[in-house]
Structure 1
Amino acid sequence: MANLIYPLYQLMTLFTAFLNPIAFHGEPKPRVEFDSHKALFVFGDSLFDPGNNQYLNGSLPQPSATTWPYGETYFEHPTGRLSDGRIVPDFIAEFAKLPILTPYLKPGSHRFTDGTNFASAGAGVLPETNSGTIHINLQLSYFKDVEKSLRKEIGNEAAKNLLKRAVYLFSIGGNDYFNFYTMYPSATQTDQRKYVEMVIGNLTSVLKEIYGMGGRKIAFQNAGPLGCLPSMREMNPNLGGECAEELSKLAGLHNRYLASVLKKLESELPGFKYSLFDYFNSLGDRVSNPSTYGFKEGKAACCGSGTYRGSGCGGGVSGTDLFEVCSDPGEYVWFDGAHTTERTNRQLAELLWSGVPNLTRPYNIKQLFELA
């Protein structure tokens, strides 16, 4: 009987080793499912922040996005998102058949094989922009930690394949220009150009580092019409309700440089592919012609105080300011003084995902995911 048991034990041991390659080799072998698995890594500012700032160590004031009415439409409670519901990355994840990405800083376990979201409200490309937020270089540092975690979890080769197939989604730069415009309202064109070149230079370095780590598919939402935010109309009553054109021109200059840099990187870096969404004109057209897109109001926000409800939604930073809230956020392009409603976000996400070349080029995100 003993002679029969021993071979059976050997077979069971070999079968166990087959299921668990760590047993004999000390490191997991590449897992085939990650050769085609989709992942989405998100970098950015408040437009893409799913709630990271609420987990910062107290260096920032308590964000109003953790109070009512933020989150009322979809989540039915505040999540840290500066919207009444979902933001653009939430929809992109849904379209890609991924779960909604949790904030990177949220305590607890994370499924990094699906990706994660590093975005931080107030963050800039330059470290000195709104210190205390998760600026782009710090977001990159967190991504490096995620890479190490993935290599440990699924093995070097599987992690390499996953990072190569992943899409890296960005929306950042607006806060840098808000700060510059506020500090230097009379800046010359030469000063503006030098500042934009500095922002783009830092951004380019980040993209090259991600490429060096294996990232090949970059998706960008360019800078929006910054001068047309309800908060800017509120801050500049002398403009009679019109946009602050100098600020929007600064965003436009950034967008031209960004388009040029991405095209250059594609020519210089083998395998580098990108998607550039014209957020500036797509949002601007909804602000100027809201009824064309099913909205009733494009200038004023749904939530806030003042003529355009440009500030104070959720009670402001203190949480005690008086504010108004509209009855139907879906009728508004803007939810608060600087951030769009869930309905607007869905429309914009659809353009990012499957937009035609005059809006999202040379690839849209759906096409990026489909590339090998």
Structure 2
Amino acid sequence: MNSIKLIFMLIILVLALLGGASSKRCQFPAIYNFGDSNSDTGGISASMSPVNPPYGETFFGHPAGRFCDGRLIIDFIAENLKLPYLSAYLDSIGTNFRHGANFATGGSSIRPGGYSPFHLAIQITQFIQFKSRTVALYNKLSSNRTASPLKGILPRPSDFSKALYTIDIGQNDLAYGFQHTDEENVRASIPDILNQFSQAVHQLYKEGARFFWIHNTGPIGCLPYSVIYDKLKPANLDQSGCVKPQNEIAQEFNRRLKNKISQLRQQLPHAAITHVDLYSVKYALISNAKNQGFVEPMNFCCGSYYRYHINCGNEAIVNGTVYGNPCHHPSRHISWDGIHYSQAANLWVANHILKGSFSDPSISIDQVCFHPTNM
């Protein structure tokens, strides 16, 4: 009887401990993000070419360095964790890095080359320099008896090991390959791409990063421009209207990425690495667009395609008709400009991934610090 009572009490204790953990939220003091235009909050706009109107019209009311009419998934991540929107590392005006920094830049890839000079290894180098310089400056200001407002916008040195490190990159490695080589060459490049990705995570870990939230790549074959420029359509299109061969290679990339993350968990025993299946969420939205209140998914909002590509923000008059202006209802469109998602689509995706339904392990973003590795 006593042993039964003891077992019962142990069960109650375990349940109480588990319940306590699940009711808590990770108090991440900062987010450090690495990626491409899907999470760029002003890097390319500040360093190379500005993002012009009508970008930002839905939420910010003006261009905000984002390739979107409003907020990105990384913005909704920050909101969920009750942190400010991330300042771009490359932006020198009005930045505040107390709660993290964004190293993502539009066009970036994992490997060097491609559309942007700011590939992942460069972003990691920028982070290492950022950390080293801010820690030195913060400590210097702390030892100085004179109060400085600068200290209030710098990261606290202890926050780097407590921060969340988010990574969303890889789509441009595939896109550039499709544009300049062929499908077999793109497929053959995947192991090297992921080896370089693994090196980047190792470097972050060496710098003290412990909590990782990693997105796989989305269904690139479902971007309207992928469909527009596919030479073999409609034979290449699947039931959702996406370019099937491109999506198959994206899925191969994601399978190998998941395996690489499994290896990283073994190699980095103190890291909590959450893998997020962004592909499945985005494809679910695209394949069920009308039932979710969106228009046909290949119908993008800003810019046009009338025998030639008209960029969002530009105009062209063809036979008296003006092309290129944004649509009247961006919130009904999944694609904002043919390549990037609208704020409404980003919100839909964020609502589905932040709860952990598409994560491995299956935990919400505010429970990442309670990852089994760190229990």
TM norm structure 2: 0.79
How far apart, in 2, do the equivalents of 1:123 and 1:55 lie? 15
- The residue number in structure 2 matching 1:264 is 263
How far apart, in 1, do the equivalents of 2:123 and 2:82 lie? 24
- The residue number in structure 2 matching 1:152 is 136
SS in 1 for 2:275: strand
In structure 2, relative to structure 1, the CA distance for the partners of 1:73 and 1:108 (3 Å cut) is closer
- The residue number in structure 1 matching 2:46 is 55
- The residue number in structure 1 matching 2:304 is 305
**2:106 equivalent to 1:121:** yes
Q: Is the contact between residue 46 and residue 65 of structure 2 (CA under 8 Å) also seen in structure 1?
A: no
Report the Cα offset of residue 238 of structure 1. 4.1
How far apart, in 1, do the equivalents of 2:276 and 2:224 lie? 22
- The residue number in structure 2 matching 1:25 is none
Q: Is the contact between residue 231 and residue 311 of structure 1 (CA under 8 Å) also seen in structure 2?
A: no
**2:306 equivalent to 1:315:** no
- The residue number in structure 2 matching 1:15 is none
> After superposition, where does 1:1-372 map in structure 2 within 5 Å?
38-56=29-47, 58=48, 62-63=49-50, 66-108=51-93, 110-132=95-117, 134-155=118-139, 161-185=158-182, 187-188=183-184, 191-236=185-230, 238-240=232-234, 242-306=241-305, 312-315=311-314, 322-356=323-357, 359-362=358-361, 363-369=363-369
Q: Is the contact between residue 231 and residue 308 of structure 1 (CA under 8 Å) also seen in structure 2?
A: no
How far apart, in 2, do the equivalents of 1:37 and 1:167 lie? 6
Q: Is the contact between residue 336 and residue 342 of structure 2 (CA under 8 Å) also seen in structure 1?
A: yes
Q: Is the contact between residue 43 and residue 169 of structure 1 (CA under 8 Å) also seen in structure 2?
A: yes
User: How many pairs are equivalent?
Assistant: 321
Report the Cα offset of residue 328 of structure 1. 0.7
Q: Is the contact between residue 303 and residue 337 of structure 2 (CA under 8 Å) also seen in structure 1?
A: yes
Report the Cα offset of residue 311 of structure 1. 5.0
Which amino acid counterpart does residue 162 of structure 1 have in structure 2? D
Report the Cα offset of residue 153 of structure 1. 4.4
Moved more, 279-288 or 160-169: 160-169
Cα RMSD over matched residues? 2.5
Q: Is the contact between residue 51 and residue 120 of structure 1 (CA under 8 Å) also seen in structure 2?
A: yes
Q: Is the contact between residue 125 and residue 173 of structure 1 (CA under 8 Å) also seen in structure 2?
A: yes
Which amino acid counterpart does residue 103 of structure 2 have in structure 1? F
Q: Is the contact between residue 69 and residue 84 of structure 1 (CA under 8 Å) also seen in structure 2?
A: yes
Q: Is the contact between residue 233 and residue 310 of structure 1 (CA under 8 Å) also seen in structure 2?
A: no
Q: Is the contact between residue 106 and residue 116 of structure 2 (CA under 8 Å) also seen in structure 1?
A: no
Residue deviations 1:9-67 (CA, integer Å, cap 9, x gap): xxxxxxxxxxxxxxxxxxxxxxxxxx9652100100010011211222x4xxx35xx22
How far apart, in 1, do the equivalents of 2:136 and 2:200 lie? 23
Which amino acid counterpart does residue 297 of structure 2 have in structure 1? G
In structure 2, relative to structure 1, the CA distance for the partners of 1:351 and 1:237 (3 Å cut) is same
Which amino acid counterpart does residue 60 of structure 2 have in structure 1? F
Q: Is the contact between residue 165 and residue 213 of structure 2 (CA under 8 Å) also seen in structure 1?
A: yes
SS in 2 for 1:298: coil
Q: Is the contact between residue 57 and residue 69 of structure 2 (CA under 8 Å) also seen in structure 1?
A: yes
How far apart, in 2, do the equivalents of 1:79 and 1:283 lie? 24
Which amino acid counterpart does residue 256 of structure 2 have in structure 1? Y
How far apart, in 1, do the equivalents of 2:137 and 2:288 lie? 49
Q: Is the contact between residue 28 and residue 81 of structure 2 (CA under 8 Å) also seen in structure 1?
A: no
Return structure 1 stretches of 4+ with deviation > 4 angstroms.
153-156, 307-311, 369-372
In structure 2, relative to structure 1, the CA distance for the partners of 1:291 and 1:144 (3 Å cut) is same
How far apart, in 1, do the equivalents of 2:256 and 2:269 lie? 21
Q: Is the contact between residue 303 and residue 313 of structure 2 (CA under 8 Å) also seen in structure 1?
A: yes
**Aligned sequence identity (%):** 28
Gaps of 5+ in 2: 1-25, 141-154, 316-321
How far apart, in 1, do the equivalents of 2:243 and 2:267 lie? 37
- The residue number in structure 2 matching 1:22 is none
Residue deviations 1:149-169 (CA, integer Å, cap 9, x gap): 34224449x956312211111
Report the Cα offset of residue 92 of structure 1. 0.7
Report the Cα offset of residue 250 of structure 1. 1.6
In structure 2, relative to structure 1, the CA distance for the partners of 1:136 and 1:311 (3 Å cut) is farther
Residue deviations 1:109-147 (CA, integer Å, cap 9, x gap): 643331011111101101112243x21111111111221
How far apart, in 2, do the equivalents of 1:270 and 1:181 lie? 36
